[in-house]
Amino acid sequence: MVQEGQPAPAFTLKDAEGKPWSLEALRADGPVVLFFYPRDESPICTREVCAFRDAHQDFADAGATVVGISSDGEAAHEAFARKQRLNYLLLSDPGGKVRKAYGIPKTLGVVDGRATFVIDRSGIVRMAYAAQLVAEGHTRRALETVRALGPSGRPSEGR
């Protein structure tokens, strides 16, 4: 799995409306919290996406953009986002190519893994966290990391 201090793999994926988003464009305004989850509508995934939804203002206040990624299609994301009243992007990763680029292992060899990365404005991973069954821990750790980066979206000297 991609680790802290390494460059984040570049990607371009589509949102629920079919609009393409690149990592480069996403991080232009500040750090990006990128979380990979197994699938829409599963109980743990729903808890995780809702935890990010509920903390959205905290992330926005810290200058971060939150993005969720799974292999579900654009139509599934649109329905899921509407149902859960999500206030951030969900991107579709058909075939799991971006998930593979980030090196996220499958759980028990079959279920897509759950991992969260905080990527600074320079494209460097500042947090990498994987925990399949801990939905809310991803949000807490990501928010702590984003706040530590500060307004510039980059670590301060001496950190």
Angle between helices 135-149 and 43-54 (to 10 degrees): 30
Element (H, E) at 69: strand 65-70
Domains detected in the chain: 12-149 (3.40.30.10)
pLDDT tens digits, 41-55: 988 899 999 999 999
Residue 11's H or E segment, with its range, is: none
pLDDT at 159: 40
Give the pTM: 0.92
Annotated active-site positions, please?
45
Calpha distance 94→62 (Å, rounded): 30
* Contact indicator for 45, 38 with CB cutoff of 8 Å: yes
Query: What is the arithmetic mean of pLDDT over 105-133?
Result: 90
Predicted pLDDT at 153: 65
Give the chain's radius of gyration (CA, Å): 14
Among 13, 39, 18, which Cα is nearest to 98's? 13
Q: How confident is the model at residue 107 (pLDDT cuts 50, 70, 90)?
A: confident
- CA 64 → CA 40, 88, 105, 107, 125, distances in Å? 23, 11, 26, 28, 14
